[in-house]
A and B are shown apart, each in its own frame.
Chain A
Amino acid sequence: EEQLVESGGGLVKPGGSLRLSCAASGFIFSSFSMNWVRQAPGKGLEWVSSINSGSTSIYYPDSMRGRFTVSRDNAKNSLYLQMNSLTVDDTAMYYCARDPTAGVANYFDLWGQGVLVTVSS
């Protein structure tokens, strides 16, 4: 069964850092681009980052560039999101999601269950 499982969330103080992980199984991870999408409590979906299969193309929205860093380890079938200088506005459920191609900017055909990040003093 194809599966994505996020981990690493939790409570962090404003200004703090957190590293999220996403473990993939049931498919050839190295063949697909991956993404992070977040959802603040009671709000809609917001794209956070994209990384292609070979880590040669990486993208963020302007609001997150410089604070968030996406990476992947194809040997470990894992996707990561390093988040620094966190603010209360970063409080959200963070989902990893698969792009069905090796490139970026396509739909997301597989989603993890999400991991909650709470930024609060």
Chain B
Amino acid sequence: EIVLTQSPDFQSVTPKEKVTITCRASQSIGRSLHWYQQKPNQPPKLLIKYASQSISGVPSRFSGSGSGTDFTLTISSLEAEDAAVYYCHQTTSLPLTFGGGTKVEIK
């Protein structure tokens, strides 16, 4: 099973600051890594697919990078509406797995 380790677990950030969340895979997964945003009492929402591919309707301040075992989700300028938990997800091999999540709080 491929284990995804996210860091940090929690981040408290001031609006307009840059946010960086990392996801490390226990073995190489190429670029089959996707990012989701989950706000309270809502289902997850797809933000980034295949490490860096943008999703229609997602603000351009969200971007992804990485390949192999190390991946990054970046929010270039945090807005209040970005308060959420962010999850990475690998689809290279079964079982499909998710990272433990990173909670982003607005200061």
Say if A and B assemble together. yes
Q: How many residue-residue contacts, CB under 8 A, span A and B?
A: 55
CB distance from B95 to the nearest CB of A (A): 4
- Is the pair B94, A107 in contact by a Cβ cutoff of 8 Å? no
Cα distance, A108 to B55, chains bound together (Å): 12
CB-CB under 8 A for A44 and B87, given A105-B94, A107-B34: yes
Within 8 A of A (CB), among B1-39: 34, 36, 38
A82 to chain B, nearest CB (A): 19
Report if A44-B96 is in contact (Cβ < 8 Å); known contacts: A107-B49, A111-B45: no
Q: Which of A67-107 contact B (CB under 8 A)?
A: 95, 97, 105-107
How far, in angstroms, from A15 to B99 measured CA to CA in the complex? Answer: 30
Majority-rule SS of B interface residues: loop
Instruction: Classify chain A's interface size.
Output: 20 to 34
Closest to B94 in A: A59
With A45-B44, A112-B43, A113-B43 known as contacts, the answer to whether A107 contacts B89 (CB < 8 A) is: yes
**Interface magnitude class on chain B:** 20 to 34
Evaluate whether A105 and B87 lie within 8 angstroms (CB atoms) in the complex, with A47-B98, A111-B44, A111-B45 already known: no
Given A44-B101, A45-B87, A106-B91, decide whether A50 and B96 contact each other with a Cβ distance below 8 A: yes
A107–B98 CB distance below 8 A: no
Whether A1 is near chain B, meaning CB under 8 Å from some CB there, is: no
- Residue ID in chain A nearest B100 by CB atoms: A44
| Residues of A with C-beta under 8 A to B46 | 107-109
Which of B43, B45, B87: most chain A CB closer than 10 A?
A: B43
Chain A: residues with CB nearer than 8 A to chain B?
35, 37, 44-47, 50, 59, 61-62, 95, 97, 105-109, 111-114
4 closest Cβ pairs, A-B complex: A111-B43, A107-B34, A61-B95, A47-B96
9 A-B residue pairs with Cβ-Cβ distance under 8 Å, sorted by A, are A45-B38, A45-B98, A46-B98, A47-B96, A61-B95, A107-B34, A107-B89, A108-B36, A109-B49
